[in-house]
Copies of this chain bind each other. A is one copy, B any other.
Amino acid sequence: MTANPVDTEEKIKEAAQRIFLEKGFDGATIRDIAEAAQINTALTNYYFRSKEKLFWLVYESMLKEALKSVQTIMEKPTSVKEKLVELLDHMFEVHAENPNKAIFFMNECRRNPQGFADKIGINCGAMEQCFNTQFEEEVKKGLIIDISPDTIFPLIFGLIQQIFAGRELTMHLFQMSEAEFDKHALEQKKVIKEMLLKYLFIK
């Protein structure tokens, strides 16, 4: 081993993630990434063979990381209500940190659904399993209204993603500055949380 090849590899991955998040696969060029990583264009192919391979690597790692953090929350020994609140807060944090994530995930999955299925192939159903059981029990106990967790689980994601996916659109349609949007986003989160809890939990 020589120099700091791992550092270079990591530098490229980080730059790639940044650029892909910002411009998407179609909009990002290998030269954009090279410039962001301050390396020669050919190096991306030296380390990752192709733009597409680099992309899927970055994409998969981001998705896996996102789902892992969700799983961690869902496996905690707490009530459904606590889990949902923590999930909402967590999702908000993640997307607030980088508002491009929401639209990036939606976008790239739509651009190439087959690639998503083939190369990522995540089974979200298995992950929910323990949560689903717990949810249904609390429904039986009369703590939660009669609704399927299959309806609620995707809803949680969507409710938070929605705030940030339409960020730029909202800012322009309603003439907000970035600071104003940040305030707006927090307000949205508050409303969504109250709305969801009031709807789901009895009493």
A residues whose Cβ falls under 8 Å from a Cβ of B: 23-24, 26-27, 100, 103, 105-107, 109-111, 113, 116-117, 120, 122-125, 147, 150-151, 153-155, 157-159, 161-163, 165-175, 184, 187-188, 191-192, 194-196, 198-199
| Residue pair B106, A188 in contact (C-beta under 8 Å) | no
Contact A169 B199 (CB under 8 A): no
Query: Which one of B151, B163, B174 contacts A150 once the chains associate, using CB atoms below 8 Å?
Result: B174
The reply to whether A113 and B155 form a contact with Cβ atoms under 8 Å apart is no
Q: Are A155 and B188 within 8 A (Cβ)?
A: yes
- Not counting A103-B106, A113-B168, A150-B174, a sample of 7 additional A-B residue pairs whose C-beta atoms are within 8 angstroms of each other reads A107-B107, A110-B169, A123-B175, A124-B174, A154-B170, A154-B184, A161-B166
Known: A26-B27, A125-B174, A188-B151. A166 touches B199 (CB 8 A): no
CB-CB nearest 7 A-B residue pairs? A162-B162, A158-B162, A110-B168, A26-B26, A195-B199, A124-B173, A26-B27
